[in-house]
Amino acid sequence: MTDLKTLTGASSGSETGLATPSHLVTMRVLIVDDESASRKMLAAVLAQIGIRCAQAGSGEEALHLLKAQPLDAVISDLRMPGISGMDLLMEVRRLHPHIVFLVVTGTDDIQVGIRAMQEGADDYALPSRCRHCLRKSHARTA
């Protein structure tokens, strides 16, 4: 199975154990979360392995960014004011069926994950497992 490190050309690097990019990475991920600190933290972690991230603070902003620039994946919180993560998922599947969509939420309720995957999410994860899920989901769709 191809993993994200192989897809991005990243090589193992520092003492942190995270991959370091060895060339320009073309993968673009949109992180959607109404909590700014959560968005920034996830973007920083993904940047350490060479993934470029755009950020949106709402589902509405995410839809605008998806129209404006090419993106490969969306990582979205489910609980947001306005367009929820589930509504965003359904709209992204309708408009951009090729984009990998990961649902991230703080709830441990497995039914939430099952419903999201039934609606078309490629994977469901708690924030701490997001990097692993992105790697797995991107490999599945590549």
Tens digit of each residue's pLDDT (9 = 90 or more) over 48-66? 888 899 999 999 999 999 9
Q: Is residue 84 domain-resident? A: yes
Choice between 134 and 59, residue whose per-residue pLDDT is larger? 59
What percent of the chain clears pLDDT 70, i.e. is strictly above it? 69
Please tell me the pTM assigned to this model.
0.73
Q: Is residue 38 domain-resident? A: no
Q: Is residue 21 domain-resident? A: no
- Burial of residue 13, with CB atoms counted within 10 A of its CB: 0-12 exposed, 13-18 middle, 19 or more buried: middle
Tens digit of each residue's pLDDT (9 = 90 or more) over 11-40? 444 334 444 444 335 789 999 999 999 899
Q: Is residue 119 domain-resident? A: yes
- Domain total in the chain: 1
Residues 6+ apart with CB under 8 A from 42: 31, 33, 53, 75, 104, 127, 130
Which structural domain, as residue segments, surrounds residue 92? 73-107+115-142
Q: Is residue 47 domain-resident? A: no
For position 73, what pLDDT does the model report? 94
Q: Is residue 131 domain-resident? A: yes
Q: Is residue 135 domain-resident? A: yes
Residue 2: band (very low, low, confident or very high) from pLDDT cuts 50, 70, 90: very low
Give the CATH number, domain containing residue 100.
3.40.50.2300
Q: Is residue 45 domain-resident? A: no
